[in-house]
Structure 1
Amino acid sequence: MAFSFQPGRRHLMAAALAVCASVGFAQFAHAADNWPDKAVRLIVPFPPGGPTDTASRIVGQELSKRIGQPVVVENRAGASGAIAAAAVSNMPADGYTFMMLATPTLLAPHLYPSAKYDVQKDFAPVATVYSLPIVVVVNPKVLDVHNMQELIAKAKDEKGNLNYTSSGVGSFGHLTMERIKKLGDFDMQHVPYGGGTPAITDTIGGQVPMMYADLVAALPHIQAGSLRAIAVGSPERLPMLPDVPTIAEQGFEGFEAVSWGGLLAPAGTPTDVIERVSKEMKEILDVPEVQERMIGAGAIPNYEDPAGEAARIKSDDETWGAVIRENNISAG
């Protein structure tokens, strides 16, 4: 008697799925090989006009020239970028959607209960693009201090009654000052504003004596003398303020507080597309004209490859997430 093998339904289903998977993978790889064959979207999680938006438009314009397809910048503002991030995390991972991550969007899940995404799990790092310098400024007519030591001494004399402001609850300026307070063992009261512009306006007006501010917004007032810069949060001094020491130089060894922006793609985006875009970003950020335009917008070009960006995301998520938890900060 001759016997023949008759596979059961389970084996037939498994074989069919394997064939479909291999065909799908081949088609996916083929699509990646031919990328791009249509316009690419770059989602900006903030309104038009700010450093993140401007930097995105500068690099998007250059990327478009290099890949031969339009790069369409789309603004989706709200909840420190959480609205855009949640949307992008669920978009197709086909290499045609990217998002310019900024520090507030990275930290939003710690601050907003409604922020249902995880930057480390739901996105693929592409490239760090820029750093956004932050500066401690005081109104010299109201608070006559010239460095962090004098500020801390004044705060201790005031026994916690000295105020500072930032662009809002959970803003990077707010988190940075809370971290400094703990490390320096002193207290100050946070007076949050609904944005950087009104906060700076009232600091200049004397309603609050000091602020941890974005350099791009504060620099004209520093140059005019209405604000005095006493420290910067970057690891090195800034070329725009060469005489202003870093926080690390003033008794906080190793301290760094730098807001930044970088490209992300939905998790699962083809690796070769990510590598291509990252390579293009590196070359774009080396162009002198691009550097000049970005610095003019307050964003310092700062390329890191996908591994470097991933390490930065992990480190900042841990560092600033701890600050948020320890101080029971919530923006939602």
Structure 2
Amino acid sequence: MKRGIRQSAATVFAGMLAFAAGGAGAQSYPTQPIRLIVPYSTGGVTDITARLVAPYVSEALGQQLVIENRSGGASIPGSEAVARAEPDGYTLLLTSTALAANPVLFKKLPFDARKDLAPISLLATVPTVLVVPTALPARNLKEFIALAKSRPGGLDYGSAGYGSGNHLTTEVFKSAAGIDAQHIPYKGGGAVMADLVGGQVSFVFAVLPTAYPFITSGKLRALAVSGATRNPALPDVPTVAEAAGLPGFSIQEWIGIFAPAGTPRAIVDRVNAATVKALRNPELIGKLNGLGLEARGGPPEALRDYFTEESDRWVTLAKKVKLDKVE
């Protein structure tokens, strides 16, 4: 009995030492550069946001955030790398809408985002805009819908990949507008925009930061934004709801930072505080707003709740649109 008591006491003592060591590590964090994995290629909105925000968060933390692009696989491999990483705060994930939507698109995922990732901060919400090549004979959204209906399946749309935000937004729009179009998935937002400008695809629901330079230079025509209200960056472009008479249509993408589950709360709070400080910087706010992004921030619980709501919303939308899961 005494031996059992001694072993139990030793176990508790070891746990206390481990906890104390973890607490000390969290207090000194960070002592080295931090990997910020972006599960998309360069040139897309998630990558653009990462490169805008990272320098400000780095300054607040006193250590550099090193961006690592791990594109492909509907953002799953890059996200899994963080979910499986050591929960020490030195590997973080900066990702977007697909993290919430992938469970309704794929029959089996190698990780559970709700269990395997710890929310840190919501960075920004991102409207999308329906853009077409200037050669397409549709000057507004009603003309576009009429054109699509006159050519069932004859128009094709590009996306940054299966499960990407522009793929999902387009599928919801197709269902609401009663049109059909063929999906052409790419490996990133930059590639699809290049082909859209070249006329290889008919339209894209592109995130505003990616589409904006093409719109302002006259290379693409903006027909409607997907959010509930017009965007200040494109004040003359109507919403889908008002342009097509589709009340209630409102979809926007979002971007947030996550850590591996089990990351000490002190580290999560440290990164959150640095991120919130960055998002309050007028210079960064101006850069984000200039691309049509709305800076968000807030505590980790705000991202947790937002992510839960988004996940549940995509379950509902998937049933309505009848999205088929893939292997």
TM > 0.5 fold call:
yes
| Larger gyration radius, structure 1 or structure 2 | 1
Out of 69, 73, 77, the residue aligned to residue 71 of structure 2 is: 77
The CA distance in 2 between the partners of 1:82 and 1:232, in whole Å, is: 27
Aligned to 1:38: 32
1:27-82 per-residue CA deviation (whole Å, 9 max, x = no partner) reads 22222223223332222222344332332233322222222233332232221321
Out of 214, 223, 231, the residue aligned to residue 224 of structure 2 is: 231
User: How far did 1:327 drift?
Assistant: 1.8
User: How far did 1:328 drift?
Assistant: 0.7
- Scaled by the length of structure 2, the TM-score of the pair is 0.85
1:156-194 per-residue CA deviation (whole Å, 9 max, x = no partner) reads 444x3342302233332221122123234x121223142
In structure 1, stretches of 5+ residues that fail to align are 1-5
User: How far did 1:110 drift?
Assistant: 4.0
The CA distance in 1 between the partners of 2:60 and 2:217, in whole Å, is: 40
Aligned to 1:190: 182
- Scaled by the length of structure 1, the TM-score of the pair is 0.84
User: Using a 3 Å threshold, how does the CA distance of structure 1 residues 197 and 20 change in structure 2: closer, same or farther?
Assistant: closer
Whether the 8 Å CA contact 2:88–2:263 is kept in 1: the answer is yes
Structure 2 letter corresponding to 1:274: V
The CA distance in 1 between the partners of 2:207 and 2:166, in whole Å, is: 8
Aligned to 2:157: 165
1:193-245 per-residue CA deviation (whole Å, 9 max, x = no partner) reads 42444544444444543321222332233234443222111232112210112
1:181 is the counterpart of 2:174: yes
The CA distance in 2 between the partners of 1:105 and 1:57, in whole Å, is: 20
Quick one: percent identity of the two aligned structures? Answer: 33
The CA distance in 2 between the partners of 1:207 and 1:87, in whole Å, is: 34
Further displaced range: 259-268 or 165-174: 165-174
Whether the 8 Å CA contact 1:174–1:190 is kept in 2: the answer is no
The CA distance in 1 between the partners of 2:201 and 2:71, in whole Å, is: 28
The CA distance in 2 between the partners of 1:174 and 1:51, in whole Å, is: 14
Q: What does 1:287-302 align with in structure 2 at a 5 Å threshold?
A: 287-295=281-289, 299-302=293-296
In structure 2, stretches of 5+ residues that fail to align are none
The CA distance in 2 between the partners of 1:49 and 1:208, in whole Å, is: 18
Structure 1 letter corresponding to 2:23: A
The CA distance in 1 between the partners of 2:69 and 2:234, in whole Å, is: 31
Structure 1 letter corresponding to 2:277: E
The CA distance in 1 between the partners of 2:45 and 2:128, in whole Å, is: 13
Aligned to 2:238: 245
Q: What does 1:199-218 align with in structure 2 at a 5 Å threshold?
A: 199-218=192-211
The CA distance in 1 between the partners of 2:95 and 2:288, in whole Å, is: 16
User: How far did 1:116 drift?
Assistant: 0.7
Aligned to 1:87: 81
The CA distance in 1 between the partners of 2:214 and 2:82, in whole Å, is: 37
User: How far did 1:290 drift?
Assistant: 1.7
